[in-house]
């Protein structure tokens, strides 16, 4: 059992699985005080440049102030090579773990919980397990404020390109848009809603091509993130539609490129650095033996209005 809890070799695969299952079923948690390394590890599922850098910056600001360092793991890359990131992480004995923009299986959570490693999730892809505190942006409010901005400009035919709806952040953003439009008396037209799978440029491009080819195209498009919005920019260019004169576009995230595209993108700012800092403070409190006062912390999002939105037809 000690070898399993510490991620060490020398255990047959079948025996390891059996021990992990028993630990999980019995709700075991290591009682003894284990010497941890002075490291907080951040686990991503795919490293997305700007987002990961900002999260790591926020984590570092907090942990460095307490004399610790930061490490990171790309779980997708580890899994692609057949490695078990959770077991490898146990062997490194970090002081705490922050899981960013991903889910984890009950098996992985059970193993980490049994080992006594404090765990916090940033923007989990689904509802986190009850015992895992989480930090996220106020995605529903972000979607609502983006839709309200377009409604205030006079738009009524508003299209939406979402992220994958199995992810909580995508559902929350869509719910915010829907709430704003219902309150304005112009319910969201389901024929103008498209669901993405990856929050990618390519799906923004393909979905916008479909939407803009409709007999009655929208006057505005709300996107699940900035990459999808850039795809809409390209679809508009190919269709000969001008932004914002013919089509207003709103993104979500406020990555650095959103300020540099032409025209600069109206988007919803997510406080990625602050999310990392809040998660780091929480995981270090847990590592110090404190209990979490809140199981979920939400940080405010902010609408950043730039030049990609205007009144319909430029009026």
What confidence tens digit (pLDDT) does each residue in 213-227 have? 999 999 999 999 999
Q: How many structural domains comprise the chain? A: 2
Q: Note the Cα 291 to chain centre separation in Å.
A: 25
What confidence tens digit (pLDDT) does each residue in 280-298 have? 999 999 998 888 778 889 9
Residue 281 within any structural domain of the chain? no
Residue 279 within any structural domain of the chain? no
The mean of the pLDDT values for the chain is 88
Q: How many helices (H) and strands (E) does the chain have?
A: 11, 12
pLDDT-derived band at 138 (thresholds 50, 70, 90) equals: very high
What confidence tens digit (pLDDT) does each residue in 45-65 have? 887 778 999 999 999 999 999
The torsion of the CA quartet 281, 287, 288, 294, rounded to 10 degrees, works out to 50
Whether residues 170 and 241 share a domain: the answer is: yes
Whether residues 103 and 163 share a domain: the answer is: no
Assign residue 198 the CATH number of its domain. 3.40.50.2300
Average pLDDT value for residue range 267-272: 98
Under 8 Å CB-to-CB from 206, ≥6 apart: which residues? 231
Residue 116 has pLDDT above 70, yes or no: yes
Helix-helix angle 106-115:13-26, to 10 degrees: 80
What confidence tens digit (pLDDT) does each residue in 2-38 have? 555 555 556 666 765 665 565 555 555 555 556 688 9
CA atoms of 191 and 258, how far apart (whole Å): 27
Whether residues 147 and 262 share a domain: the answer is: yes
Residue 16 has a pLDDT of 55
The first and second tokens of residue 166, run together, are 């199995």
Q: Which domain holds residue 42?
A: 2-117
Instruction: Determine contact, residues 196/203, Cβ cutoff 8 Å.
Output: yes
Residue 17 has a pLDDT of 62
pTM of this prediction?
0.87
Residue 244 has a pLDDT of 97
Whether residues 113 and 147 share a domain: the answer is: no
Assign residue 49 the CATH number of its domain. 3.40.50
Whether residues 174 and 310 share a domain: the answer is: yes
Domain boundary among 87, 117, 147: 117
pLDDT-derived band at 128 (thresholds 50, 70, 90) equals: low
Whether residues 15 and 77 share a domain: the answer is: yes
Residue 221 within any structural domain of the chain? yes
Instruction: Determine contact, residues 234/205, Cβ cutoff 8 Å.
Output: yes
Whether residues 180 and 308 share a domain: the answer is: yes
Whether residues 184 and 310 share a domain: the answer is: yes
Whether residues 265 and 147 share a domain: the answer is: yes
Query: What are the helix (H) ranges across 137-241?
Result: 139-153, 168-183, 201-212, 226-239
Whether residues 202 and 243 share a domain: the answer is: yes
Residue 298 within any structural domain of the chain? no
Q: Can you spell out the DSSP letters for 255-272?
A: -GGGGTSSSPPBEEEP-H
Whether residues 143 and 113 share a domain: the answer is: no
Whether residues 143 and 111 share a domain: the answer is: no
């Amino acid at each position: 059992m000690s070898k399993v809890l510490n991620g060490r070799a020398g255990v047959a695969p079948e025996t390891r699985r059996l021990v992990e299952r028993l630990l999980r079923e019995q709700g075991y948690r290591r009682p003894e005080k284990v010497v941890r390394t002075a490291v907080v590890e951040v686990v991503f599922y795919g490293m997305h440049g700007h987002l990961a850098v900002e999260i790591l910056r926020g984590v570092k600001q907090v942990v460095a102030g307490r004399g610790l360092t930061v490490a990171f793991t790309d779980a997708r890359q580890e899994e692609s090579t057949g490695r078990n990131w959770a077991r490898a992480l146990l062997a490194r004995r970090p002081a705490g773990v922050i899981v960013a923009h991903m889910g984890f299986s009950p098996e992985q959570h059970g193993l980490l919980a049994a080992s006594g490693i404090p765990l916090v999730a940033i923007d989990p892809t689904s509802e986190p397990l009850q015992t895992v505190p989480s930090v996220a942006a106020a995605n529903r409010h972000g979607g609502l404020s983006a839709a309200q901005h377009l409604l205030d400009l006079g738009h009524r035919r508003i299209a939406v390109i979402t992220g994958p709806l199995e992810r909580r952040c995508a559902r929350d953003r869509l719910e915010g848009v829907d709430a704003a439009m219902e309150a304005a008396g112009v319910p969201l037209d389901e024929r103008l809603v498209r669901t993405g799978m990856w929050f990618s440029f390519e799906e923004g491009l393909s979905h916008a091509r479909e939407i803009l080819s409709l007999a009655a195209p929208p006057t505005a498009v709300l996107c699940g993130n900035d990459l999808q919005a850039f795809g809409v920019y390209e679809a508009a260019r190919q269709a000969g539609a001008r932004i914002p004169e013919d089509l207003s576009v709103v993104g979500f995230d406020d990555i650095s490129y959103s300020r540099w595209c032409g025209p600069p993108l109206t988007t919803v700012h997510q406080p990625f650095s602050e999310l990392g800092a809040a998660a780091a403070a929480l995981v270090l409190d847990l590592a110090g033996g404190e209990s979490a006062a809140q199981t979920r912390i939400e940080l405010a999002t902010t609408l950043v209005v730039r030049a990609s939105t205007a009144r319909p037809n430029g009026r």
